[in-house]
Amino acid sequence: MPAIWIAVPTFRRPERLTHLLQTLPGVAGRHDVMVLIADNDPGEQEGAAAVQRLQAENYPLPLTLLTVGQPGLSAVRNAIADAALADPAMRFIAMIDDDEWPQPGWLDALLICQAQVGADVVAGPVDSCFVGNPPRWAKDSLVFRPEERPWGATPMLWASNNLLVSRRAFAMLESPYFDPRFNRTGGEDLDFLARLRDAGARFGWSPDARVSEWVPAERTRLSWVLRRMWRIGCTETMARQKALPGRIGKAKLLARSLAILVLRTAGLAAMLLPGARRVDIAGQWVKSWGRLYALAGGTQSHYGAL
């Protein structure tokens, strides 16, 4: 039985999903690999149709389709985890999103880092692939720049769109692994990783385990980038509130968030300097307001089924 499950949650991106699946055999064509597609749109089932077309064409990797009726990010990731953990042969879940595709050496690089570091979870960079001609600022924007770190052990990871999770890591947490409170807001992966860190999980980073991500033209608008930074501020704070409950915890978060806002507001003056990354400076300021919005009890639904 396959020990490595490549898991892809999908929602109404059949063309992107097809591209990802067509790329996988050349990058992860190992004998111990299977692919699980979790379609979170039981109505249209565009992802399911894409999977069935490839199965009819004798897709070279074991390919399983899972339809997840409950909408939301946490729901689909929990369904993936439950399905994989039900197979005693499963040792690792490699998570990748349906608007991404792996670069050569991706899976091997994740596994090598895991083995040499003894990591419970390993991540790698995500490179943006712009559709059309983006504005000049977009390629250098914090939102679209790939994260770069040295190879090896690392104290914390932030997202699940390029992530290898061991069976041992799931055993450190109770089910549901992805908190349903983040179902429509996002941030479920940050919360998952923060709880793993607090449970003593060991993290690794592999710069060679790269994936590429499509960036459609609508995401290179300034309004989208600033909304994205606002959402990051909201979801980061929601996750931190779980670790610091009660009035004292909220007071600590409020003090920290106000201090950051003061610093970011003062930093707006740097936008006047030649060569300043103005979008990043403005984005960090907006992110600070997102933190305060979350502390005030505000939540926003940014996702439909996925």
Asked whether residue 300 carries a pLDDT value surpassing 70, the answer given is no
Share of the chain above pLDDT 70, in %: 97
Q: Which CATH superfamily is domain 4-219 in?
A: Spore Coat Polysaccharide Biosynthesis Protein SpsA; Chain A (3.90.550.10)
What confidence score (pLDDT) does residue 305 get? Answer: 43
What confidence score (pLDDT) does residue 29 get? Answer: 82
pLDDT (tens digit, 9 = 90+) per residue, 197-206? 999 999 999 9
Q: Are 103 and 210 in contact (CB under 8 A)?
A: yes
Q: What is the mean pLDDT of the chain?
A: 94
Share of the chain above pLDDT 90, in %: 88
Asked whether residue 298 carries a pLDDT value surpassing 90, the answer given is no
What confidence score (pLDDT) does residue 242 get? Answer: 86
**pLDDT grade for 299, boundaries at 50, 70 and 90:** low
H-helix or E-strand spanning residue 101: strand 100-102
pLDDT (tens digit, 9 = 90+) per residue, 89-119? 999 999 999 999 999 999 999 999 999 999 9
**pLDDT grade for 139, boundaries at 50, 70 and 90:** confident
Helices 222-243 and 246-267, packing angle to 10 deg: 150
Asked whether residue 304 carries a pLDDT value surpassing 60, the answer given is no
Query: In 3D, which of 285, 284, 290, 283 has the Cα closest to residue 239?
Result: 290
Q: Would you kindly state where each structural domain of the chain is located, as residue ranges? A: 4-219, 221-295
pLDDT (tens digit, 9 = 90+) per residue, 207-233? 999 999 999 999 999 999 999 999 999
Pairing of strands 162-166, 92-96: antiparallel
Asked whether residue 169 carries a pLDDT value surpassing 50, the answer given is yes
Q: If you average pLDDT over residues 152-177, what whole number do you get?
A: 97
Instruction: Give the CA angle between residues 40, 301, 267 to the nearest 5°.
Output: 125
**pLDDT grade for 30, boundaries at 50, 70 and 90:** confident
What confidence score (pLDDT) does residue 306 get? Answer: 42
Rounded to whole angstroms, the Cα distance separating 117 from 105 reads 18
pLDDT (tens digit, 9 = 90+) per residue, 268-286? 999 999 989 999 999 999 9
Helix (H, G, I), strand (E, B) or coil at 177: coil
Rounded to whole angstroms, the Cα distance separating 140 from 123 reads 22
Pairing of strands 4-10, 92-96: parallel
